[in-house]
Structure 1
């Protein structure tokens, strides 16, 4: 994988770096402070690898929280992380020693971790002979939405989620080629995979998990109607704040999970709140707006609105702004097309449009419109959008360099044909 290639390149540059045989930590023989786990020189001290040989897109770029925890009768200076792969990690930050890792949600790629901090991979976890549905998917059990830690409750508050995805090897894939049905190849992607050619068995979910990092156990949870909920904020006042994909801003009791207060905010929330004090008054602010890789194609609110920053305080009296109902509710109808163009239109769509606009009429359109719910005028003028750059100011690229007017006709046939097929259902 790219991550491992970067590791090898780093090892080549740092000639004094020693890789242990089991590859779980690395150390340098240079002085550093074990009191705070930092080096005054910037030298490479240690590393721990969550997912060796990653082939599932389980990045470990998610938030890392430093804390002092009493574990097995002694205080440990630790780092805590809940990356995409579904395990919650506690690592000694002074030397990289593995302490524990336990799944905070359903995991199928590994059964656990051994005493050396190595994952115990499940049988068939790397089998790519037939379509596979690994849990968590590449969307992650926890993505970039921040988690938070409350030293009073001793709990970490994780925006956990499940986004089902079935992958299969793309037999037609060639490097830097633009081929019908090769996923997003027209946009220069080199994935080599097809997605959801077989329907997933899992169902999507979103949760707020209160996690005990010492016992490595869930203490309470809040269930949501959708994945991709906002980051969390916890305060000394025993509160947890979170915005949700279904357009709410909620305050929970940090110890019990009881909902203490909530308000509608019109659009889905992916950001984390912030709290601050001015002249003795505490405020909580939240940036409300919908997006991100999942939010491009899906949404969980009926209402839409521009991105806004909301600020709340006890006793606030400002009126909430109005929100409009989404008009993306009626499948497009009446655009003429040749039925023989639907199948080739599918190939063009998968290789150029899928990851932004989703499946027509199946996805409902998030930050980017789902074309199955287009106005008929949009489809009949598709050449203006696709070939002439009518949407460049909104981030829609032009495709005239590699799509023809004939292929645009096929795209229209696929979109309208799919809407027609879905309408009776």
Structure 2
């Protein structure tokens, strides 16, 4: 069910007449649906020639955009051909591509394009965007893109958005520059409250689950620096417990591998109260013990830790998954050789992983047992790297981050297994 566009969303579709048109700002703010409406119109009325749709990966493009188009116009009018690198919309064949690394530009070399749709533009290398501009050579060609904000030094902000000829601002006003050097780009900036169709309970849930940096960017739509404490919603009074309740399922272990640096593993379960608990922590710091362990010794240590963990009169647990630092290939091989079940490479998307943990803290569905001293010491000191932020890169400061990395590995790699713990309104509208 799609609500008719109104307000800023409708206005943006009327203003999308430039060579480049970009919807940017908060999540769930109507920017994607507005851009899709314009793209569908362009497929039918734009100049003849090849068209292209791009996402961070082809998979994310399908999930974020193509699946939405199918819901809007039906499978007969939108036929996605997995593996063929194309989708047919209104009978028009459109190339699809992912642009998640520097090699992506090679995918579109030689194309002559009449139009393009770009999802999550800030995730593309600048080289891909530059190549795309050269490929849009059919007379009257246009591109339409969406993105969430990043840092103010991101290439898209500095090289494209700040040079746009027209800007529909967050406050709803329109600014048009007479600068002869301005780009033929129209920029549409959105905040969460620009979507009047969202239930109030869902909006409140989104605001709780996005804290600090993510609140500024994904709720307020600001292009701001990553600075300060990363998990600023963590509150010892709310999130630290002395007793772990009955656990209905031991979901996973999140494991950060270290030899010279500390080795840290966290046991995470879902309680009968429908909340997650970091119940126990295994750490070995060779700097303190003056003893480095081998992969085999670490494997023994982890297996002994799990077999001896006692919970409500029962000794020994077997989590469904053991998500291991993806750089620790030899240790994963050791665990497999030792017959440990559920061993898998952790998802190491740092920023998305931090968002998953932030959501769990913000929605108060995650608690940590007081015995997890390494994690509890690291959380308040886990901060954004100010020098990297100044260069347009969002990354944590790589100091004392071993247990927090283990937490991120565990929660982000298992996000589909605990998403149902989020408030019902959050799930209903986000689906």
- Relative to the length of structure 1, the TM-score reads 0.26
Q: Which of structures 1 and 2 has the larger relative contact order (alpha carbons within 8 angstroms, sep 6+)?
A: 2
Return the structure number with greater helix share.
Answer: 2
